[in-house]
């Protein structure tokens, strides 16, 4: 099968879930490439905004052929930026078809913006399109405000895109309910997990606790409210001082984070780590904490479980991640209960059984086979 992947986001702004699925599908013998349009912001990307290539760039990423077109976004011009993004993607796919022929299916990642572009492209290519949805309502409201009052046109456009897709593939069943107030449920959907690289995030024996403190880690971007770092800071006052807390992720070493965890000598702010750095930190720690207020499918929980350690999180985490005896959950926003569960998880030993459960649920071969069965149906 010839599959063209269309990510809404791509490095340096996320989107690795698309690459992981492309690698897994290619490993099953399918013809898979990625066509990406990367939106650059003048404040976020600064120098690269002006120096990025003006022509399409070809690269190979972990064995997958990738084509990148860079788009300079206009500040605060949401409608223009989305329409221009879709225009550039349509031009890119036209070039792609001239090079490699018409793909059998389009597989978009996130309805905004790739899903909407895939809808238009599928019509003139006369091929089906599928949408893997990764974004929760919390992320949409962060960008467009509660209720999307200023962007109802986008909400309506996305709803029509969902309804036109051959199938929407949410990363969890709960994501359908989470997005229903915006897009309804009048579309076909089939939940399929994101991929965890279970050949990389593997079980690892921890050093005995006898002569060292219990080590926790929290892996998330520095969205203090969304990821619940304020709750974690409050919970620390109820916890023993002879523990270590390691926090890593984009901008987790920023001044606001330093202020939040000031005068906490047992807290280490690592900032952004690469994939190997994340794994090394997980191998050194005994449990994961993720006190988020909104999540679609937090892969860090699966990555932690794949290395053998238990996790504490909140009720916003989908049920598919709630592996018995490995995960503890608390109500969203309850710092006192979070502290109680953190102390409780200290009595759960790392286990290779946690790692095996993740392989059965989210390994590349398992997810790729599920995708192939759906794309060919």
Does pLDDT of 294 surpass 90? no
Residue 158 predicted with pLDDT over 80: yes
> CA–CA separation, 99 vs 341, rounded Å?
55
Partner residues linked to 189 by β-bridges: 168
The residues that bridge with 108 in the sheet, in sequence order, are: 6, 131
Range name among 101-110, 143-152, 252-261 with the lowest pLDDT average: 143-152
Contact assessment for residue 323 and residue 166, using Cβ atoms and an 8 Å cutoff: no
Which tens digit of pLDDT belongs to each residue from 267-279? 999 999 999 999 9
Lowest mean pLDDT segment, chosen from 52-66, 115-129, 136-150, 336-350 = 136-150
Element (H, E) at 311: strand 311-314
Window from 131-135, 139-143, 255-259, 349-353 with minimum mean pLDDT: 139-143
Of the chain, the percentage scoring pLDDT greater than 90 comes to 79
Q: Which CATH number fits domain 2-191: 3.40.640.10, 3.30.310.10, 3.40.50.2000, 3.40.47.10?
A: 3.40.50.2000
**Residue 26 confidence (pLDDT):** 97
Q: How far apart are CA 230 and CA 310, in angstroms?
A: 22
β-partners of residue 64 are 61
Is residue 256 over pLDDT 90? yes
Mean pLDDT, residues 207-234 taken together = 93
- What average pLDDT does this structure show over 144-161? 85
CATH 3.40.50.2000 residue ranges in the chain? Answer: 2-191, 209-360
pTM for this prediction: 0.89
Report cis status (omega within 30 of 0) of the bond before 12. Answer: yes
Question: Residues 302-330, buried b or exposed e (16+ Cβ, 10 A)?
Answer: bbbbbbbbbbbbbebbbebbebeebbbbb
**In the CATH scheme, what architecture does the domain 209-360 have?**
3-Layer(aba) Sandwich (3.40)
């Amino acid at each position: 099968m010839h599959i063209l992947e269309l990510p809404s986001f791509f490095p340096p702004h996320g989107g690795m879930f698309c690459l992981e699925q492309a690698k897994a599908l290619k490993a099953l013998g399918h013809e898979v490439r990625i066509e990406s349009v990367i939106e650059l912001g003048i404040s976020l990307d600064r120098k690269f905004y002006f120096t990025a290539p003006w022509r399409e760039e070809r690269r190979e990423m972990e064995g997958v052929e990738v084509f990148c077109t860079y788009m300079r976004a206009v500040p605060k011009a949401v409608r223009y930026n989305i329409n221009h993004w879709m225009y550039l993607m349509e031009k890119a796919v036209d070039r792609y078809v001239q090079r490699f022929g018409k793909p059998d299916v389009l597989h978009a990642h996130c309805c905004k913006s790739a899903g909407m572009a895939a809808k238009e492209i599928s019509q003139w290519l006369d091929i089906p399109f599928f949408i893997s949805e990764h974004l929760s309502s919390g992320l949409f409201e962060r960008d467009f405000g509660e209720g999307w009052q200023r962007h109802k046109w986008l909400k309506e456009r996305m709803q029509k895109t969902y309804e036109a897709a051959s199938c929407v593939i949410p990363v969890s069943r709960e994501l359908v309910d989470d997005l229903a107030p915006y897009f309804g449920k009048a579309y076909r959907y089939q939940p399929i997990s994101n991929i965890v690289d279970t050949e990389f995030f593997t079980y690892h024996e921890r050093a005995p606790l006898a002569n060292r403190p219990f080590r926790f880690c929290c892996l998330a971007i520095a969205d203090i409210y969304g990821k619940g770092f304020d709750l974690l800071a409050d919970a620390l006052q109820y916890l023993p001082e002879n523990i270590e807390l390691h926090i890593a992720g984009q901008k987790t070493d920023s001044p606001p984070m330093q202020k939040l965890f000031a005068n906490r000598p047992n807290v280490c702010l690592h900032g952004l780590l690469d994939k190997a750095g994340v794994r090394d930190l997980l191998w050194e720690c005994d449990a994961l904490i993720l006190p988020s207020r909104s999540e679609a499918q937090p892969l860090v929980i699966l990555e932690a479980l794949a290395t053998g350690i238990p996790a504490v999180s909140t009720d916003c985490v989908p049920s598919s991640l709630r592996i018995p005896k490995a995960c503890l959950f608390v109500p969203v926003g309850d710092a006192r209960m979070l502290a109680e569960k953190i102390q409780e998880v200290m009595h759960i030993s790392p286990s290779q059984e946690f790692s095996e459960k993740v392989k059965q649920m989210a390994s590349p071969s398992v997810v790729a086979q599920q995708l192939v069965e759906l794309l060919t149906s």
